[in-house]
A and B are shown apart, each in its own frame.
Chain A
Amino acid sequence: MNKLFISPSPHMYEDTTVKRLMFDVVIAMLPALAFSIYFFGMGAIIVTLTAVVSCLAFEWLIQKYMLKQEPSITDGSALVTGILLAFNVPTNLPIWIVIIGSLVAIGIGKMSFGGLGNNPFNPALVGRVFMLISFPVQMTSWPVPTGFNNSYTDAVTGATPLGVMKEGIGAGETVSSIMDKIPSHMELFYGHMGGSMGEIAAIALLLGFGYMLFRKVIKMHIPVSILLTITAFTGILWLINPESNADPVFHLLTGGVMLGAIFMATDYVTSPMSVKGMWIYGIGIGIITVLIRVFGAYPEGVSFAILIMNAFVPLINAYIKPKRFGEEVKNG
């Protein structure tokens, strides 16, 4: 007879593993990746490959030679970070900037805190914000989505709808006149606009959201609360003065709202643990995003909003607890 295994209960396990969860996220990102390649061509492929390869390489090197631990790049988390990082940059970004961004994302954003599970901030966003502040020119020259023939090095660049809107309102134009200069809502929905690589096609991101919900990778609370908050907040502003404030649908479909709400804010490590906490976190991201967009200096604020709320997550976890069974009765 074999030696019997002895262990405390339970003796059954769900077949979910960290690896499976991460690869489900990757699958969920594929539609968005496909749309980007369709609109931006080679640039999307080059930037994605660079980001993924350098994220994996940096993680492996840091674990192997600096932390002297068993490299765990096969768990897929560095792959997810790499793709997300690529999703957050323009497709004509020079390779060397992408590599530096990956180093910051993995090295500073993740490994310096002790690797997967210990980082307080979303690594891809740390990388993105680092690049945005260090290389503002390259990071805000968005290629125009001309289709797959779009070349990588000398793409025609233009402003994002959000940038046009911000500039227009700043110059005293009315929203309705600005609206003529930017694509229609339908075009925005399937992503025919300038912007960061993965954020353009709302339809592809929603497909990914559906897949992740179906596979029970994430819960719906964070994305739904962010989207609802942004809709409500911008809706109120729009109702007050529709000529100086864009409508909520425009806000939802442009910039990084969809990408941020579905893929960035839902990062396990940096989001709250309880359902109540998730609502607070989502509402916070929504409010800060709109504040930055409407009242701030930057046209886009999703990544800052997520990073700011990331910082609040430990506090939320410490004070917002799930409702205990039998608790109400005891107090009441």
Chain B
Amino acid sequence: MSATILFTIISLSAIGATAAIILYFVAQKFKVYEDPRIDQVEEILPAANCGGCGYPGCRGFAEALVKADDLSPFFCPVGGNETMAKAADILGKAVEAKDPLVAVIRCSGSPIHRTRVNKYDGASSCAISSSLYSGETGCQYGCLGLGDCVDVCDFDAIYMDEETGLPVVIDDKCTACGACVKACPNIIIELRKKNKKDRKIFVSCVNKDKGGVAKKACAVACIGCGKCVKVCPYDAITLENFLAYIDPNKCKLCRKCVIECPTSAILEINFPERKAKEETADEDSKTQVKETNARPAGEKENDIK
């Protein structure tokens, strides 16, 4: 009995030892030199492997950083400036800080504002729906509501609001990797500058139809009236194809255009509530810091009616 056990132990150990020796020599023989800095850089990257930098995963990005002479075309949207600075430290190269970005959904066409005129019954994918036809509503530009952006988000930063049928970005989780921007067939999602306190002003519409057509399809569409362009003191707003666009780099968040917009297509987000009307609006009213997550006060109640 004990002989059997002994024999088993000896033979297994012998096999193990032989295998270890062979493995050691094989590993020596096929050793590939790799820049140790790649490992160091990869270490400080967020390991999200989201591809937001344009490289296949964090290791791919690390390799690219090590090889590159100039770091300015590279940016890790997840780690942001901090990570880039650390990477630059390791590599002994310089890097400039970039403005942090966040994804915004440029469509407010909930069923209240935008009536559904037919019923889509195909596979639940925006890409399929958009290649088939213009969508369930009269607006061919707006959100299709089938959630391709939600599916591609690696950070759970987007969810579909069941009531409005529109995606909502959770700003704190959004890393601006740009996956949703690529996934959206109607190019509704845009990466915009993350301002102080995450305040945002943008045209929440991408409808390029003439005013009448747009308004008929959706109550909160940009009708291309140009009032915002006139009122903007910083020339930040341009109008093209009956659609206004606010340049995030020129916009100073004065909120004049928001009041001016007749269809409330321009949204202000994370601003304190306005005290009264226009005059006080652009003053920095620090009272009543209640997050108004949409159009001017009073508008919502009207819509529901």
Residue ranges of A at the interface with B (Cβ–Cβ < 8 Å): 3-8
Contacts and interface: CB of A to CB of B under 8 A. Distances in A.
Contacts of A3: 116-119
B132 interface: yes
Contacts of B132: 6-8
B301 interface: no
Chain B interface size, as a band, is 10 to 19
Nearest to A2: B119
Given A5-B119, A8-B132, 11 more contacts: A3-B116, A3-B118, A5-B118, A5-B121, A6-B119, A6-B136, A7-B120, A7-B121, A7-B132, A8-B122, A8-B128
A13 to B, nearest CB: 12
Question: Could you say which of A6, A7, A8 has the most chain B C-beta atoms within 10 Å of its C-beta?
Answer: A6
Interface string B101-140: 0000000000000001111111100001000110010000
A8 B125 CA distance: 12
7 contacts: A3-B116, A3-B117, A3-B119, A4-B118, A5-B119, A6-B118, A6-B119
A243 to B, nearest CB: 39
Q: Which 5 A-B pairs have the closest CB atoms?
A: A7-B121, A7-B122, A4-B118, A5-B121, A3-B119
A4 B116 CA distance: 10
A5 B121 CA distance: 6
Interface string B79-118: 0000000000000000000000000000000000000111
A6 B120 contact: yes
Contacts of B122: 6-8
A139 B155 CA distance: 51
A15 to B, nearest CB: 18
A5 B123 CA distance: 13
Contacts of A8: 122-123, 128, 132
Contacts of A5: 118-119, 121
A156 B117 CA distance: 72
Contacts of A7: 120-122, 132
Contacts of B116: 3
A331 B76 CA distance: 47
Nearest to B132: A8
Interface in B218-232: none
A1 to B, nearest CB: 10
A127 to B, nearest CB: 34
B211 to A, nearest CB: 26
Question: Could you say which of B116, B122, B123 has the most chain A C-beta atoms within 10 Å of its C-beta?
Answer: B122
Nearest to A11: B121
A9 to B, nearest CB: 9
Nearest to B134: A6
A213 to B, nearest CB: 33
A3 B133 CA distance: 15
Interface string B195-214: 00000000000000000000
B158 to A, nearest CB: 22
Nearest to B123: A8
A4 B118 CA distance: 5
B234 to A, nearest CB: 43
Contacts of B121: 5-7
A3 B121 CA distance: 11
A232 B132 CA distance: 54
